[in-house]
Amino acid sequence: MIRVRDVHMHFGDVKVLRGVSFDVQRGETLCILGGSGGGKSTLLNVMIGALRATDGEVVIDGQSTRGMKERQFDDVRRKFGVMFQGGALLNSMSIADNVALPIGYHTKLDADTIETMVKMKLYQVDLLHAADRRPSAISGGMQKRAAVARALALDPKILFYDEPSAGLDPIATTRIDELINKLKTTMRMTNVVVTHVMESVQRIADHIIMLDKGAGHPRRDAR
Ligand SMILES: Nc1ncnc2c1ncn2[C@@H]1O[C@H](COP(=O)(O)OP(=O)(O)O)[C@@H](O)[C@H]1O
Ligand SMILES: [Mg+2]
């Protein structure tokens, strides 16, 4: 589903990624580990096209994104959802409207259809009861699940998560991990998860890569 080949990312003289290569198969969970400032978010941003690699190639579901124009990349973007570090929900609108936002933006579906889709996504993350609440009026764990619902809005094949359990207590963390696993087993979702929580890695990872001085080391013995 994802192929990363010899990716380099330099910010001026700072070489954050120095030749990272790995594959992610469909329906598996890859965890990306490494120290703070080690380039995990940078690698994620290169994979989702928010940053263009200095060198190397990223292939998403058979489509190479190398040298792709922004508009072409929009087609690739519909294949995946992203849960950003911090969740990044808009507090000016309800949870339901947050989930509806990408559907309204990327499709021409009518309001009733969108409402039905939003309910399905909120049901998947067990948040139907909080549909009308503002992000600030629900717990941190619920906010993260709402961010997952929004990432699911366009029925992606791949979900990227940047530190999904940052700031959560162990129980809310376990709940997010269970959600990640449920999406894998029920939808055959491909999950790419940046995390430093080793308990989470043990619960969710099929494979892990370690970023070490900007080079990625695939490990085949995650469990
Ligand atoms: N847009 C940018 N411009 C310059 N330097 C950046 C930029 N983004 C990240 N960096 C640098 O890249 C390094 C890795 O950052 P990051 O990928 O956020 O690490 P991590 O997510 O592993 O904590 C850091 O030293 C950071 O300062
Ligand atoms: Mg980061």
> What residue owns the CA closest to ligand 1's atom 24?
37
214 lines ligand 1 (CB under 6 A): no
12 lines ligand 1 (CB under 6 A): no
Centroid of ligand 2 to alpha carbon of 113 (angstroms): 35
| Ligand 1 atom at minimal distance to the Cα of residue 44 | 17
> What pLDDT was estimated at residue 106?
87
Could you read off the pLDDT of 29-59 as tens digits, one per residue? 999 999 889 999 999 999 999 999 999 999 9
Token pair, residue 102, equals 């990408």
Could you read off the pLDDT of 179-206 as tens digits, one per residue? 999 999 999 999 999 998 999 999 999 9
Q: Where are the alpha helices (DSSP H) in 19-139?
A: 40-47, 70-77, 95-106, 111-124
37 lines ligand 1 (CB under 6 A): yes
> What pLDDT was estimated at residue 95?
97
> What pLDDT was estimated at residue 29?
98
Centroid of ligand 2 to alpha carbon of 107 (angstroms): 31
> What pLDDT was estimated at residue 222?
44
Distance between CA 186 and CA 168 in Å, rounded? 25
Please, which contacts does 12-18 make with residues 24 or more away whose CB atoms are closer than 8 Å? Answer: 15/214, 16/42, 16/214, 17/42, 17/43, 17/46, 17/53, 17/211, 17/214, 17/216, 18/213, 18/214, 18/215
